[in-house]
Every structure is written in structure tokens, then in C-alpha cells.
């Protein structure tokens, strides 16, 4: 058994697709530049009146047309009343108007919210990852792939261990890993920058004395390394990486509370 909002994309047709667009808004309103009103490059469309909005006057959404029985309602006119025909003509004319019934949402007072829209059945819950070939490896060219299927288990394991350890510093000759890291670091050494290192630099004693209340609160969780240009502070953070950004913002607030400007 499935709920009404559940559907399998492999066997069921997408119920969110509107096959017959008669009675719906054919195109979302656009401005003079041809851009959809309410569209944001980051968050996408936000206009409530889109192609799922129904036009024209609708009966009460609480009465299903399949079970509607007007005989159960209190008649609006007595039998033979002359206004019955005029009322039917007026109702027919009102239903023929190509308008959008809307209402004002208390949380969106500046937007027009349509009252009648197509039912949204939601997106299916992902039950599994999309299939991918096991040879999907962005680092190895297809012509250089090792055919493990043609090897026996012992040979395949031996080759796998060999490949896994080929770039491991523990299995490289002495000095290879050190020279690689020195080569990566050489451009920074030539410039003389402290970026990317934990080396201590120059700290203005006056500023250090001023921010002592902040440093005492941080304690051993952060160590001051240097002060650049009087407003850029370098710290060595010793806590959890998930709290790094929050600690940086909190440290900036603590330093500002001491009367010192912070720009980085």
C-alpha cells in the first residue's frame, strides 16, 4: 500500500506533470527585460502565480464534483422564481471570466497568492544511488585501467596493495616526501609570507596587552601567532574543526570588545 503522495519514478508517471494545460496560466509573468518576475539567480523562481495556477472562478475546493448533490442544500430561490434564470446567467458569466482568484497571506502581505493551483505530489524519495560503472575513476585513463576481472584473487590483491602503496610516504624512499613538500612550499618561502604556516610572527606588545581579556577567555584553545598591520590576527586553533568558523567569529567579537579593530 502507498500513500497518495508516494510514487515510483521507474514505474509511475510523474503526477506533477500537467498534460492538459487548459484553464491554467500558460506563461509566468515577465518584466520588460523578459526575466520572470520574482526570479532569483541563487534561489530560483519565487512567484506564486506560475504555470500551475488555475484561472477562472472555481467552486468551493471543499466540495468534490464527483460527490456533489445540490438537492441536499437549502435552495437559494423558490421554485418558479424569475431570478433563477438570471442567476444562472450571472454564474455562467462569472465562471467564464479568465481571472485568478487570490488571497492575502498574513506572512506574505506584498505578494498575490493564488487560491486554486494544481496539486503538488512532491518528489519521490531517493531509495538508492543512481547506478554507476565500478570503473568510474577520474584519475585513471580508461586505457590504463587494471583488469582485475582477469586475475585470480591472490594476484588481484597483490596488485591492489601495490597500487595503494605506490603514493604512500611510508613506502617511498627516504627524502622523496620531504622534497615534494619543500617544492610545494618554495614559492611561499621566496615571498616570505606566513600564510599556510604555524610560524610565529611579530606581535605588537601594546595590542597584546590590550586584548589580554580575550586571550584569557580563549585559554589554550587558540594561540596567538602574529598581528599583521595592527588589525589582522593569526591564531593556531586547537579545537574541533566543525567549531573553527564559530570560534573565529567569537574571537573577533572578543577582540572588538577590548577596543581593538579587527579586519581579519
Report residue 88 as a C-alpha cell. 444562472
Q: Shortest CA distance to 207 belongs to which of 186, 182, 185, 232?
A: 232
Q: How far apart are CA 178 and CA 198, in angstroms?
A: 18
- pLDDT band of residue 217 (cuts 50, 70, 90) is very high
Q: What's the confidence (pLDDT) of residue 129?
A: 79
Q: Could you read off the pLDDT of 227-258 as tens digits, one per residue?
A: 988 889 999 999 898 999 999 999 999 999 99
Note the pLDDT tens digit of each residue in 105-116.
889 888 889 888
Q: Report the distance separating Cα 190 and Cα 236, nearest Å.
A: 23
Q: What is the rounded average pLDDT for all residues in the chain? A: 83
Mean pLDDT of 53-76: 76
- How far is the C-alpha of 231 from the C-alpha of 79, rounded, in Å? 88
pLDDT one-digit tens code per residue, 152-196? 999 999 888 888 877 665 566 778 888 888 888 888 888 878 877
- Rounded to whole angstroms, how far apart are CA atoms 43 and 227? 39
Residues in Cβ contact with 236 at an 8 Å cutoff, skipping those fewer than 6 apart: 198, 222, 223, 225
Query: What's the pLDDT tens digit per position in 160-171?
Result: 888 887 766 556
Amino acid at each position: 500500500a502507498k500513500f497518495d503522495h508516494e510514487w515510483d519514478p521507474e514505474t509511475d508517471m510523474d503526477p506533477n506533470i500537467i498534460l492538459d494545460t487548459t484553464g491554467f496560466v500558460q506563461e509566468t509573468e515577465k518584466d520588460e527585460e523578459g526575466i520572470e518576475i520574482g526570479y532569483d539567480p541563487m534561489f530560483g523562481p519565487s512567484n506564486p502565480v506560475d504555470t500551475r495556477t488555475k484561472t477562472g472562478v472555481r467552486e468551493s475546493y471543499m466540495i468534490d464534483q464527483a460527490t456533489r448533490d445540490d438537492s441536499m442544500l437549502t435552495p437559494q430561490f423558490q421554485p418558479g422564481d424569475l431570478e433563477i434564470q438570471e442567476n444562472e446567467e450571472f454564474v455562467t458569466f462569472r465562471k467564464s471570466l479568465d481571472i485568478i482568484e487570490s488571497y492575502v497571506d498574513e506572512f506574505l502581505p506584498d505578494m498575490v497568492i493564488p487560491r486554486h493551483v494544481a496539486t503538488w505530489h512532491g518528489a519521490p524519495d531517493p531509495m538508492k544511488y543512481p547506478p554507476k560503472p565500478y570503473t568510474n575513476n577520474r584519475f585513471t585513463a580508461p586505457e590504463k585501467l587494471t583488469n582485475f576481472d582477469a586475475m585470480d584473487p591472490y594476484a588481484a590483491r597483490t596488485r591492489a596493495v601495490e597500487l595503494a602503496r605506490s603514493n604512500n610516504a611510508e613506502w617511498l624512499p627516504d627524502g622523496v616526501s620531504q622534497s615534494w613538500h619543500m617544492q610545494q612550499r618554495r614559492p611561499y618561502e621566496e615571498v616570505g609570507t606566513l600564510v599556510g604556516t604555524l610560524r610565529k610572527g611579530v606581535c605588537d606588545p601594546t595590542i597584546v596587552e590590550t586584548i589580554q581579556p580575550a586571550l584569557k577567555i580563549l585559554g589554550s584553545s587558540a594561540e596567538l601567532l602574529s598581528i599583521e598591520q595592527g588589525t589582522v590576527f593569526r591564531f593556531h586553533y586547537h579545537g574541533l574543526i566543525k567549531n573553527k568558523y564559530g570560534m573565529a567569529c567569537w574571537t573577533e567579537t572578543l577582540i572588538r570588545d577590548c577596543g581593538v579593530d579587527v579586519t581579519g
